[in-house]
A = this chain, B = another copy of it.
Amino acid sequence: MKKHIKHDPQACSKKMLPIQDALEILSGKWKLPILVALMFDVKRFSDLSKEIPRITDRMLSKELKDLEMNKLVKRTVYDTFPVTVEYTMTEYGRSLKKVIEALGEWGEKHREKIMSE
């Protein structure tokens, strides 16, 4: 029933934009590792650098800026010498957890599916 309904591709495109926003925010090689690293603890720049294998300072800096712009991560500067900077996942950032879990669960099943040929 209702097979005659026409699915407007334009309407679909409107739905697509937020999906692509979300994908873009998680896209790139380092966003997820950084978010995971900040999921449980506040970390400093050098902590993240050590904890995330092979990331360069340049990329860490750039990705943290992106995440900060999207309000997923908060940057706090302390007036010490040399300066200390702490990165925290915001409460809003934690709202991504559900999405990430959904991705993870599907990915898990996908691994099984593909491995079993």
Contacts and interface: CB of A to CB of B under 8 A. Distances in A.
A85 interface: no
Q: Is the interface of A mostly helix, strand, loop or mixed?
A: helix
Copy total for this chain: 2
Contacts of A78: none
In this complex, the interface size class of chain A, counting residues with CB under 8 Å from chain B, is 35 or more
A39 B100 CA distance: 22
A4 interface: no
Given A33-B16, A106-B99, A114 B22 contact: no
Interface of A: 7, 9, 12-13, 15-23, 25-27, 32-33, 36-37, 39-41, 51, 70-71, 92, 95-96, 98-100, 102-111, 113-114
